[in-house]
Structure 1
Amino acid sequence: MTTHPPPRSLETEGLTKSFGGVRAVDGATVTFRHGRINALIGPNGSGKTTFFNCVTGMIRPDAGTVTYRGQQITGRPPHRIARAGIGRSFQLCRVFPRMTVLENMLVAVRPARLRDLVGGAGSPAETDKARRLLVRVGIDHLENVEAANLSYGQQKLLELAGVLMGDPDTIMLDEPAGGVNPALIGRIGTLIRELNDEGKTFLVVEHNMDMVMSLSHHVVVFDRGRPIAEGPPSAVRADPRVLEAYLGI
């Protein structure tokens, strides 16, 4: 019986972005698979976050293309890429510190109504959805707490819940375990697995190798702005190019 590879979710071809004379992303051609937990790893400064920013429209690439589920999205503004089905978190949490947890959730889905949402205004359906998601990530008891008073790990959970408010098909997480205690890292990993089982595709940038190797189906390794290896975690872990990039051996 002939087997077929899983459908492509996100592809880049020749993606390039320079800052001054430095190529942060250098002709990167990568494919991430639909329905999988994909990881993007690499040493500090290897271009991972710049790659994320090019894909999600935060910055415009100098060259190359980004294709999402067969549709070219290169250079589109972030809100249009979000509408296409891609949600993302950031390396440093982006929450409104003087707004409550619930208000942050409502702003995530209706950013144009920021002024109206201060004080908790929002449609009953949006508010109900926000509360269900807060239950799911385990911070529903904090809905009336200002985000500034959350731990950093709780802010990470809030940011993930806010991403889910938009019902994205693909979720891009930039260092979800960064600065988070081990118990919350486990909680975040469990959420990613559960959401993947429900059909969400993930692309995760992460330095926690234990998390990457236990969670991912497919790993892409960046060095100096371009992919140098990819495959299942077991193969990537043993690849001499990866050992050289990380350890210089």
Structure 2
Amino acid sequence: MTLETVELRKAFGGVVALDGASVAFQAGKVNALIGPNGSGKTTFFNCVTGMIRPDSGRTTYQGQEITRKPPHAIARAGVGRTFQLCRVFPRMTALDNVLAAVRPGGFPKGLRGARSRSDLDRARGWLTRLGIEHLADAEARAMSWGQQKLLELAGVLMAEPETILLDEPAGGVNPALLDRIGALVRELNAEGRTFVIVEHNMDLVMSISDHVVVFDRGRPIAAGPPSVIRTDERVLGAYLGV
């Protein structure tokens, strides 16, 4: 297992978002985390990546506890993450957005320290790999929503994480781009990267995932390969509403 939580709990006032969530994701695989709205998926991501602190429980990554480490330390440990709402610098070019990921100490420092030829070549290489090299000199705000999602992923990849958490990569993108994202995940996974994907598009989840974890009311209710999850009665009841 690469990323594992034990009894992770988080409440916001009287609302329990995570209720003792114990989850293990498989190393070297495409893992999916699904569940109805409000089931705790994004809160889980936020706790795992240090964006918020859980009230109790612990998280380990490759056997090392990361429960209360800050986000930059977790990123340095090898965990990259995208967000449901893209986090890009809208008035910076696509190339500068990717270069900003080279130095976790902040984007101004990152840009000053990331202008080496090797970093420029790597940044352009990721833009090319994701199919947006023609937008290298365009400001991020001029890009479509789907292109911004690819740009955010390029920035994550620039930091060379071993494990990548994607929060709703299919949200708001057109079918052609959706196919491209699915193919990219599979290509990058074949190169050795582990993925954990929060997603509502079941066609995408079932087509690219090796292992699926299902959340309901802040905790996992089922886990297994897509073929098993499709017919699990708990999933059909909680998530598919039948």
1:141 aligns with 2:134: yes
Find the aligned partners of 2:8 and 2:121 in 1 and give their Cα distance: 40
Residue 75 of structure 1, aligned match among 68, 73, 76: 68
CA distance in 1, matches of 2:143, 2:223: 37
The answer on whether the counterparts of 2:103 and 2:114 sit within 8 Å (CA) in structure 1 is no
CA distance in 2, matches of 1:28, 1:121: 39
SS at match of 1:222: strand
> Normalising to structure 1: TM-score of the pair?
0.94
Quote the Cα distance in structure 2 between the aligned partners of 1:21 and 1:87: 31
Distance 2:137 2:10 in 1: 41
- What are the Cα deviations for residues 68-122 of structure 1, in whole angstroms up to 9, with x where unaligned? 1111110100000001110000000000000000010111222535336679972
2: CA distance between counterparts of 1:112 and 1:12? 27
Aligned partner of 1:182 in structure 2 is: 175
- TM-score where L is the length of structure 2: 0.97
The equivalent residue for 1:229 is 222
Match of 1:32 in 2: 25
Percent identity between the two aligned chains: 69
CA distance 1:58–1:113, change in 2 (3 Å): closer
Does 2:11 correspond to 1:18?
Answer: yes
What corresponds to 1:56 in structure 2? 49
1:147–1:155 CA contact under 8 A, matched in 2: yes
* Helix, strand or coil at the partner of 1:53: helix
Instruction: Mark the CA change 1:13 to 1:116 in structure 2 (over 3 Å): closer, same or farther.
Output: closer
Structure 1 residue 213 corresponds to structure 2 residue 203: no
Q: Distance in 2 between matches of 1:201 and 1:114?
A: 26
- In structure 2, the gaps of 5 or more residues are none
Counterpart selection for 1:204 from 197, 205, 208? 197
**How many aligned residue pairs are there?**
242
1:118 and 1:170 map into 2 onto residues whose CA distance is: 24
Query: SS of the residue aligned with 1:192?
Result: helix
The answer on 1:157 being equivalent to 2:157 is: no
- Counterpart of 1:168 (choices 161, 168, 177) is 161
CA distance in 1 between counterparts of 2:146 and 2:130 reads 11
Deviation per residue, 1:114-161 (Å, 9 max, x gap): 336679972222111100111100000100000000000000000111
CA contact (8 A) 1:103 1:120 kept: no
Deviation of the 1:214 alpha carbon: 0.4
Counterpart of 1:242 in structure 2 is 235
Aligned partners of 2:100 and 2:114 also within 8 Å: no
Give distance in 2, aligned partners of 1:197 and 1:38.
Answer: 13
Alpha-carbon distance in 1 for matches of 2:111, 2:160? 23
* Alignment RMSD (CA, Å): 1.5
Residues 184-214 of structure 1, C-alpha deviation per residue, up to 9 Å, x if partnerless? 0111111100000000000000000000000
